[in-house]
A and B are shown apart, each in its own frame.
Chain A
């Protein structure tokens, strides 16, 4: 079963086809929708796991769609970076389980089937995005995941949600068009769309200007998708207004698509060797550093729990981009690992926040005062997530941040190691506010006093992610060694 050759197309097709079928199934009864989604995602999870194991054993796996040989046919390619599909499937699975109880409270009844459709389309689009080896497909899957994400932000109704979705849509649509334009430039220069092939052919072109334009365009567009400061403005409202399971997916997974897009482009240009990437790396370093500091500073002044977590995503994306910009194999390994670990930790935090909001009806820090006593299990999970996102050893945030800091010193840029630690210290300020409010202040609202920890379908996803946040640090060596070949391809000789 683990070596079934068609897993690669199957994990892309399953969520998309399964998602489209949800409204039809829901005609027989609304209860079918969540169960069916969970089933589809279980299959996807299994496939992603099988493929990750194959990569761990024998390196990247390629698949030619319909048997058409690349570079003429469409190639799917599962490498170490694509293994993020495992996180997508896992977080998606847990978010759907969480939605069993959460979605009926947050989303209008008649929209429920479409909610699951959008969720599955979004997850399928992301998996397609990370496994495709073809530039045009990259754009197509980017649109699938972006469009479904805009809709998911607005799914819960309400003024804020609509406006946030609109803001997201405007910035997202522009960036998608820029991606398409840049794909066009590369196609006109090389006559190919297969990434590996494009990289080979680019080496022969001698027109640096369009190349630089394409590189700059890709970078700017993916920066929007990744919500890097100062192009982050769409993120806080969108992530805070969305229903919590969606926030977990948006913050943990969708913004990472910008990062992975950037990684794919960097790899093409690094392999082709046609351009000196030094200036780009320098820019990424400074942008990343600015993002990690500014995201944390914005987060400090928030009062709404989910807004706070959303700004923390801006900060963490800054970490990852800084790591990529440092361009030493150590720092890039750290960045790649942090892509994965942050996905787990941030979805833990958002789901825990969702459980608290569901339990108490409150979403501000003042409103949630004293909730640590009435919802202890949820709050312990949230606290573990907090320790992990600060990067306290030996939790999940530590391996990535440690490795990036080591990489910064190795790369002869010790100042950025200081910035990395400074960012973690800023995180402490706002997470200390959360802990203080939850544990060390008396309840301010009667809803908080009457609140209780949720049902298993709420607690299981939260606790699983909390446990994984911890394990990601204790077993931090495993992913670090796993991504090393990918880091070498990205910056190695």
Chain B
């Protein structure tokens, strides 16, 4: 195994461990905090999450300098450690995860109001944060598997949080899909372990070599792609996404779309780059299938989104389409395209986070759940709709917002990789994004409120607005959301602008993504 010229040095550091443990500490604090007021609890938890986010941001410079922070924890199985390691790719994903989580936590304070089961919600919310960070900071495939399975499973109570029949049905479908995916990933890791000559560690060149028979290699690749494909919502494995998103609480939908689905794409990128490596993949026929599946998903999910009237479900289909971009770009195996894929993961997280935050505000504030009910929404919730518009325009790819930048990088990467055909898919997806997002904006800003008051008060969420005290007419009445929910929403929308404007500043996502891609894939111009 030849050592890569740019192979980074590992620098021992406990920071990644602290970042993972802080949210878990929060779970422990929930018991003594159970008796204190909600404001105190949210404050303490937000402080912990801020610290986590701060640490994950502080880890970025190390990853950029090639001094990869790393720590070996304990020997889980003979010769296999729990190993944390913050390489550029992990640092980028980790920072995205912890920042979006912080926003969602603050948003949850207003969203949950006085509703029951908050202790359970917070406990699993924090557990998932810790374990998802673990996925980002995994230093080897076994550690990745451990954290990946843990966060996938512990997400379940959040999916079924409302305990309505629809939520339970969504939860069942979630469990079926996720465990199936998790089982396939486990098989992939087992097979890799047996066939790898160099253990399971990341950052030391591809784990598998051509010495393993091509049939076995294809089998292992199939295990990983199908397993992570479930989480990344690649067609035809996307079924759980449109079911789980509408029933989950809005802050958690944001997380689900922003980083959980992305974790699947992250897994695929890890496997392509670290387990197989470009040289091995070039000779395998499976990549054509992956490219085909991803391209089809971009277009197909876009079309489904256009046809969908339920707002959160439309956004969920949009996530399926957008994550397929990431997989598509990454599977071209060019440095530029892969960097674009990683950048798009981060950019998409905040755009989609903002959109789901807005969807939650519209549902709780004025009872809007369908796109067709959006008439007049801009007059009732101007700030919310402003944030929605920025994020939606970003997702369509309007310059200079972050969605444009990441799609531009991906597009340039595709041309560099000699596959300009996929530009058509990229543009087709962007066109569809315009088709499923612009009508929302049009309805919200131009059309008048079309629903009657009785319909409205039936759909208004009890925790936010007392239905018995309904105002005479909701038409054109300002009912903007409370600050605790509006601020995270505005911040997420602001990040859409900021990440777009500052995309090429050192230390911003593109810097890290470029480094991550070039370590494995070479300069590429």
Which A residues have a C-beta under 8 Å from some C-beta of B?
387, 392-394, 399, 402-403, 405-406, 409-410, 414, 417-418, 421-422, 424-425, 428, 432, 435-436, 439-441, 473-477, 480-481
Contacts and interface: CB of A to CB of B under 8 A. Distances in A.
Nearest to B193: A406
B180 A474 contact: no
A439 B117 CA distance: 11
A440 B168 CA distance: 8
A308 B333 CA distance: 48
**What interface size band does chain B fall in?**
20 to 34
A394 B146 contact: yes
Contact of B190 (A409, A422, A425, A432): A409
A392 B78 contact: no
Contact of A392 (B77, B150, B180): B150
A394 B77 CA distance: 10
Contacts of B183: 421-422, 424-425
Contact of B179 (A428, A436, A474, A477): A428
A409 B191 contact: yes
Contacts of B76: 393-394, 399, 473-474, 476-477
Contact of B187 (A421, A432, A439): A421
Contacts of B150: 392-393
Given A402-B190, A409-B194, A440-B157, 6 more contacts: A392-B149, A392-B150, A409-B190, A421-B187, A432-B172, A477-B78
A399 B77 contact: yes
A171 to B, nearest CB: 34
A302 to B, nearest CB: 18
B77 A417 contact: no
A369 B403 CA distance: 46
A435 B179 CA distance: 15
A394 to B, nearest CB: 5
A417 B157 contact: no
Sorted nearest first, the 5 A-B pairs with minimum C-beta distance are A393-B146, A409-B194, A421-B183, A405-B190, A428-B179
A172 B357 CA distance: 63
Contacts of A406: 190, 193-194
Given A392-B149, A432-B172, A440-B160, A403 B77 contact: yes
Contacts of B23: none
Contacts of A435: 156
A262 B77 CA distance: 26
Nearest to A435: B156
A418 B187 contact: yes
Contacts of B171: 436, 440
B466 interface: no
A436 to B, nearest CB: 7
Interface of B: 74-78, 82, 142, 145-146, 149-150, 153, 156-157, 160, 163, 168, 171-172, 175, 179-180, 183-184, 186-187, 190-191, 193-195, 219
B256 to A, nearest CB: 18
Contacts of B74: 474-475
Contacts of B156: 435
A457 to B, nearest CB: 23
25 contacts: A392-B150, A394-B82, A399-B76, A402-B77, A402-B190, A405-B186, A405-B190, A406-B193, A409-B195, A417-B191, A421-B184, A421-B186, A422-B183, A425-B180, A432-B175, A435-B156, A440-B157, A440-B168, A440-B171, A474-B76, A475-B74, A476-B77, A477-B78, A480-B78, A481-B78
B179 A425 contact: yes
Contact of A439 (B75, B142, B157, B184): B157
A78 B191 CA distance: 35
A392 B194 contact: no
B207 to A, nearest CB: 15
Contacts of A475: 74
A440 B163 contact: yes
Contacts of A432: 172, 175
A415 to B, nearest CB: 11
A285 to B, nearest CB: 17
A480 B168 contact: no
Nearest to B160: A440
The SS class assigned to the A binding surface is helix
A405 to B, nearest CB: 5
A236 B194 CA distance: 37
Contacts of A403: 77
Contacts of A477: 75-78
A436 B157 CA distance: 9
Contacts of A440: 157, 160, 163, 168, 171
Nearest to B75: A477
B315 to A, nearest CB: 25
A424 B168 CA distance: 22
B223 to A, nearest CB: 9
Contacts of A441: 163
Contacts of A473: 76
A439 B142 CA distance: 30
A441 B183 CA distance: 27
A287 B175 CA distance: 29
Contacts of B77: 399, 402-403, 476-477, 480
A387 B153 contact: yes
A320 to B, nearest CB: 18
Contacts of A387: 153
Nearest to A394: B146
Nearest to B145: A393
Contacts of B157: 439-440
A440 B165 CA distance: 10
Nearest to A436: B168
Contacts of A414: 191, 219
Nearest to B172: A432
Most buried by A among B145, B153, B183: B183
A418 B145 CA distance: 17
A94 B162 CA distance: 38
Nearest to A421: B183
A368 to B, nearest CB: 16
A336 to B, nearest CB: 14
B194 A410 contact: yes
A57 to B, nearest CB: 19
Most buried by A among B175, B184, B195: B175
A392 B148 CA distance: 10
Most buried by B among A393, A424, A475, A476: A393
A477 B78 CA distance: 5
A417 B187 contact: yes
A422 B157 CA distance: 23
A192 to B, nearest CB: 37
Contacts of A394: 76, 82, 146
Nearest to B194: A409
Contacts of A481: 78
A418 B180 CA distance: 12
Nearest to A408: B190
A387 B487 CA distance: 38
A372 to B, nearest CB: 9
A405 B78 contact: no
A477 B153 CA distance: 24
B153 A392 contact: yes
Contacts of B191: 409, 414, 417
B236 to A, nearest CB: 19
Contacts of A436: 160, 168, 171
A405 B191 CA distance: 9
Nearest to B142: A393
Contacts of A402: 77, 190
Nearest to B189: A402
A477 B183 CA distance: 22
Contacts of B163: 440-441
Contacts of B146: 393-394
B264 to A, nearest CB: 18
A409 B187 CA distance: 10
Contacts of A399: 76-77
A417 B121 CA distance: 36
A396 to B, nearest CB: 12
